[in-house]
Structure 1
Amino acid sequence: MNLSFCFPDSYVIADIETSGLNPSSDNILEIAIANVTDRRIKSIESFIINPHYPRDDYSVPPVITELTGIDSDMVRNGVSPETALSRYAVIASNSSVYFHNGIRFDIPFITAEASRHSAPLPVNTTYLDSAALFKAYRLDRIDEITYYPDFESFATEILNTRVRGLKYNLAHCCECLSIDIANHIPLHRAESDVKATHAVIEELRALLASD
């Protein structure tokens, strides 16, 4: 695999916000999906999700509301998980799909939520991860990508490498890459995060990949 594989001109970006960190017991509360064509965002779809749909009794943990701004009233008026995940599956199928730290977080959550609600998953999808690319860049290990048969194995190795003091959360990536996140605030909302992730991807492309 070579580095150019990681930077297609057209791709999808997705991001989720959740009620916690455990895919087995927590829920997806929001998902946003961006279509990128010729390196520019052409459209974004976002959904607030009610995990208890059609009931309106779901309570968002206060710590999550404090972090994301997503509260119980918003979620109780949200769409069903099946509706949101079905739309994600349509957009993400037959595409390269970027997440930021999705290999370890978003993708396991989406897989678990889809299983719980018998929702479809994307088909013929190539997953990419801007957090893994940023971390590899900071570790000066980006050239190692050629040693791996696929991106997921490379990303897993990089993300599982513990380095004291090395941050790769989305806000830190933006700061390190001199990306003005004022246009993407508030972070920790799915639509804002896909916009910020797009900026990170394109900045990494400029740094790492030649046309």
Structure 2
Amino acid sequence: MDIRFLDEETYEVRGIAVDGLTETHFCVFDLEGTGINFNTEHITQIGAVTLTSELEAERSFSTLVYSPKAVPPFISAMTGINDELLRNAPSFQEAYQQFEAFSANTVLVTQAGYEYDVPLLRNHCRQYGTPMLTNPILDIKALFVCIHPEITNIISTDFLIRYYDLPHRDLQRHDASGDCMLIARIFKAIMQEYRDREIDAIDWREGITVRRFQIPGMVLT
């Protein structure tokens, strides 16, 4: 999989193909970190949930991850994760090994992961000398754009919640476990559209272009 940032507003992903979507085992995952710049920030939490054949949540996984970088106060306020919680948390290598075992033999699913979670995870793997996961990874933003090229909005989580009219207030946002459950709900709604259209395969080997999320005051490169 190759992710290429075209400019501050768009990225392109290539080299992904998944056949037999109705028979595939999926695992939704989400990362929390010390900030939004995947080049300089550190993972503080990994969450994941496997899905049944009916795309319902099945098994769950969650771990805090020790960060050598302090968690900024505004991030702590948003995620509930602070330096004291991370003091005795597993190292990245330990947490990553557990996540790798949990997600084995699945296709991974994320939200905005091509522009944050995946680059952040890749950077950590390089830094700690750990091989990157080889699972195929699908981003629900790209999945949505693939069947709705007519929609030009930035496909944020809140946009997808509104579009599919999904319940969400029972889940804790900006928590890896809560976000995984929310992503799973959105993913199920998108996959229902794929099934209704009798689409049972993804082929982005030649590339698909997606608009990046925008955070005022932050440049994501």
TM-score class normalised by the smaller sequence:
0.7 to 0.9
Counterpart in 2 of 1:15? 30
TM-score, structure 2 normalization: 0.73
Work out the CA distance in 2 between the residues paired with 1:2 and 1:45: 26
Runs of 4+ deviating beyond 6 Å: 1-4
1:31-86 deviations in whole A, cap 9, x for unaligned?
1011112122111111111123xxxxx52101211221212211223211111111
Residues 199, 61 of structure 1: alpha-carbon distance in 2 compared, 3 angstrom cutoff: same
TM-score (norm 1): 0.76
SS in structure 1 of the partner of residue 185 of structure 2: helix
Provide Cα deviations, 1:80-134, integer angstroms capped at 9, x if missing partner.
Answer: 11111111222333321101111121111011112222334323x1111111122
CA pair 139-91 structure 1, distance change in 2 beyond 3 A: same
Hey, which of these two has a bigger chunk of strand by percent? 2
Contact 1:4–1:209 (CA under 8 A) maintained in structure 2 = no
Tell me which residue corresponds to 2:96: 85
* DSSP 3-state at the match of 1:181: coil
- Structure 1 gaps of 5+ residues are 53-57, 142-162
Instruction: Report the secondary structure of 1:15's partner residue.
Output: strand
Q: In structure 1, what is the equivalent of residue 39 of structure 2?
A: 24
Map of 1:182 onto structure 2:
169
> In structure 2, do the counterparts of structure 1 residues 107 and 84 end up closer, same or farther at CA, with 3 Å as the change threshold?
same
Map of 1:47 onto structure 2? 63
For residues 3 and 51 of structure 1, the distance between their equivalents in structure 2, rounded to whole angstroms, comes to: 34
Q: Tell me the equivalent position of 1:122.
A: 133
Are the equivalent residues in 1 in contact too, given 2:25–2:105 (CA < 8 A)?
A: no
Contact 1:85 1:121 survives alignment (8 Å): no
Structure with greater helix share of residues: 1
CA deviations on 1:151-203 (whole Å, 9 max, x unpaired) are: xxxxxxxxxxxx4xx1322233112210010222x211100111000000111
Q: Which runs of 5+ in 2 are unaligned?
A: 1-15, 199-221
Amino acid in the other structure paired with 2:140: S
Mean alpha-carbon deviation: is it higher for 111-120 or for 81-90? Answer: 111-120
CA 60–178 in structure 1, closer or farther in 2 if over 3 Å, else same: same
- The 8 Å contact of residues 24 and 107 in structure 2, kept in 1 or not, is answered as no
Stretch moving more, 196-205 or 73-82: 73-82
Say what the alpha-carbon RMSD is for the aligned residues. 2.3
Count how many residue pairs are aligned between Structure 1 and Structure 2.
181
